[in-house]
Structure 1
Amino acid sequence: MTDRRKLLRDHTNHLHKKLDDNVGPLGSNEQYLRYLHGMLQFRHPLEQQIAASKIPAEFDDFVPSMISEEIESDLRSLDTKPIFLPASITEPQPFELSQLLGVLYVLEGSSLGAHFLVKQAHQLGFGEANGASHLAKQTSRKGNWKAFCALLEQIETIDEKAMTSAARTTFSLALDAFEKV
């Protein structure tokens, strides 16, 4: 494990565990719909901020995984209207590089958990064509996590305090989203 990845893991482990406990296993259709709504509330505003951010040249082999459009599509395919809670930020604010890395640590790391969730969704009858296209997209980019971890170490000038703060905030935003759905 790289130094920065370990730093991020150590500073967010308690929040990560709390989020995993809050989301829980996806053992029913109701739990799966709650998961979809929570993910949309969590990811949509962050992905807008990422889109508004300047992606550095160092990101050449790494492309952030954006899945909120697929989550919306998944909800519609299940005859459920995507619901957006009122956002506190009306205009997406771009992230600074260190913040961006902290946010992406959480978002890209969720692709690892998506490998477990895709199996649970499949057991409920959801697949790429009906309700789990976001999971299919998340799990299809197998080298993205490794590319992100390499990027963490390659970038020389990072404000590690800002990076870890952004990662903690991102986990807190996820917890908040799942508590509201």
Structure 2
Amino acid sequence: MTQHVLRSVLRDGTGDLHATLDAQVGALNSPAAYLAYLRGSHAFRSAIDPLLEAGSARIGWRPVMLSDATARDLADLGAGRRSPVTPPALPDAAAVAGALYVVEGSSIGATLIARRAAAMGYTAGHGASHLALQTGDPRRWRRFLDWLHAADPDPARAVKAARAVFQTAMTAFTQR
């Protein structure tokens, strides 16, 4: 399958959940909104990062792990953490690839979030270190898409896993 087709299948197969998650995260135009986003990010990444780390060892793509950085950012802001949510199972390479599509794709949105966080005074050194990690390599998304194309996962299994990961993120952002 070509890179363009596989990416389109994943985008089209998850677009509804992606839009819902974006709406849940919101505009991030206040410190309170940023803190809610940061808590949700930590609950999500604390759950999914260990699975991705284990899965990436099997398939050859290592995502940027953000759970420790989100914990530091919460500590910088004097804020408590939410409990991690229950992550989906990632039983095979196609499922890991689908999960990676979600977390690697989040770096695109992280660029906008980083600008909004900076406008509120959050920086790589205080409150937004996870964003600095996530956006530190502007070519990473393109390299990921090249890797995804070469990996050629089963599209249906990858979409199923990506949907489950989006649903996990939605749970993390709505828990209190």
Contact 1:52 1:94 in 2 (8 A): no
| TM-score, normalisation: structure 2 | 0.91
Q: Which runs of 5+ in 1 are unaligned?
A: none
| Residue in 2 that maps onto 1:146 | 142
Distance in 1, matches of 2:34 and 2:56, equals 34
Deviation at 1:145, TM superposition (A): 0.8
State which drifts further: 29-38 or 139-148. 139-148
Q: Residues of 1 paired with 2:55 and 2:15: CA distance?
A: 26
Distance 1:11 1:99, change over 3 A: same
**103, 116, 120: which one aligns with 2:99:** 103
CA contact (8 A) 1:50 1:95 kept: no
Question: In structure 2, how many angstroms separate the alpha carbons of the residues matched to 1:175 and 1:40?
Answer: 12
TM, length-normalised to structure 1: 0.89
RMSD between aligned residues: 1.9
TM-aligned CA distance change 1:140 to 1:18, over 3 Å: same
What is the aligned residue count? Answer: 174
In structure 2, how many angstroms separate the alpha carbons of the residues matched to 1:88 and 1:9?
24
Do 1:52 and 1:93's aligned partners in 2 also have CA atoms closer than 8 Å? no
Query: Are the aligned partners of 2:40 and 2:82 in contact in 1 as well (CA < 8 Å)?
Result: no
Structure 2: tracts of 5 or more residues without a match: none
CA distance in 2, matches of 1:3, 1:25: 31
**2:30: which partner in 1?**
28
Question: 1-side partners of 2:125 and 2:171: how far apart?
Answer: 29
Q: CA deviation at 1:28?
A: 1.0
The alignment partner of 2:133 has SS state of helix
Specify the alignment match of 1:81 in structure 2: 80
- Tell me the CA shift for residue 81 of structure 1: 2.6
Paired letter, 1:162? R
- Cα separation, 2, equivalents of 1:88 and 1:173: 7
**Cα distance 1:93–1:173, how it changes in 2: closer, same or farther (>3 A)?**
closer
User: Percent same amino acid among aligned pairs?
Assistant: 34
**8 Å contact kept, 1:49–1:95:** no
Please point out which of 40, 47, 50 is paired with 2:49: 47
